[in-house]
Amino acid sequence: MSSPTPDRRTAGKPMTVPLVRARKRRDGAEPLVMVTAYDEPSARIADAAGVDMVLVGDSVANNVLGYEDTLQVTIDDMARHTAAVARARTRCLVVGDMPWMSYHLSVEEAVRNAATLVRAGAGAVKLEGGRARLPVIEAIIRAEIPVMGHLGLTPQSVLAMGGYRVQGRSADAAQALKDAAKALAVAGCFALVLEGVPDVVAAAVTEAVDVPTIGIGAGPACDGQVLVFHDLLGLGARQPPKFARQYANLGVLATEAIAAYAADVRRGTFPNDDESYHASSDLQSALSLEDDEIESPA
């Protein structure tokens, strides 16, 4: 199995926001690699594989907590999962996803919620949306918290979009996406996720902004790529989406392993002698004596 080649300028160093910000492919940088992680083991595994960033995505809702959509998770849920990921003490940058309703009510509340994720261990936060989010993005950045933008198919807008639909398909929509990306970059976002947009639109947006774009379902021209941990490893309940490449089928392997354990227990071959603790012969004789006493009541 191949692992990503870390950029030679950043290999081995802890990944920071300025190092990510500098990774534009047109300037000769290698593509950024991001994957979601939701707990200590998944963060440890992703970090050991050499990724640049782990995103504690609000997709924890669908992939871990069994919800239909991402609208169900709260800032407390995200802080708990961000803290678990941070305990893996990764070299890569931990990005905490701001859930729906954590940055929609007021600028002040948005800054407070972003700080909650930082105190939980995030090195940056991500939030969805275009120009409408500029006041919130600017305020969070003024509070010294780096922000990653997220444009295109924004899953928190599922109700407004009427489903998970590819965005930017018309010339006007593509232009609006490009304008929004420029505005977010000018506001100070250090990177932009582009989700569910045609490859040529992602290429045009990537060309138009000085910050790295990180694609998911956005074709190969972005400055980096992000995949969901469970899609990449075959751990999800659903068929992975068209854009997700599945590199392993750990769900099947895990089911087979647990079925083998169940069979061993049922046929009495687990645990065996090596898997059991043993006591001294004195204790063994004392126990048999007690058994004799129980078996022959006076």
Q: Which of 195, 196, 221, 231 binds ligand KIV (CB under 6 A)?
A: 195
Which residue bears the tokens 């954590």?
102
| Interaction pattern, residues 203-222, with ligand KIV; x per rule: CB under 6 A | -------------x------
Interface map 220-249 toward ligand KIV (x if CB under 6 A): ------x-x---------------------
Q: At what angle do helices 107-120 and 75-86 cross, to 10 degrees?
A: 30
Residue 152 engages ligand KIV in binding (rule: CB under 6 A): no
Judge whether 195 counts as a catalytic residue.
Answer: yes
193 is a contact residue toward ligand KIV (CB under 6 A): yes
Residue closer to ligand KIV, measured from CB, 97 or 223: 97
For the bound state, the minimum distance from the C-beta of residue 36 to ligand KIV, rounded and expressed in Å, comes to 5
Name the minimum Å distance from CB 200 to ligand KIV: 20
Residue from 30, 39, 47, 58 touching ligand KIV (CB under 6 A): that is: 58
Counting residues that bind ligand KIV (by CB under 6 A) gives 11
Binding site residues, ligand KIV, CB under 6 A: 36, 55, 57-59, 97, 193, 195, 216, 226, 228
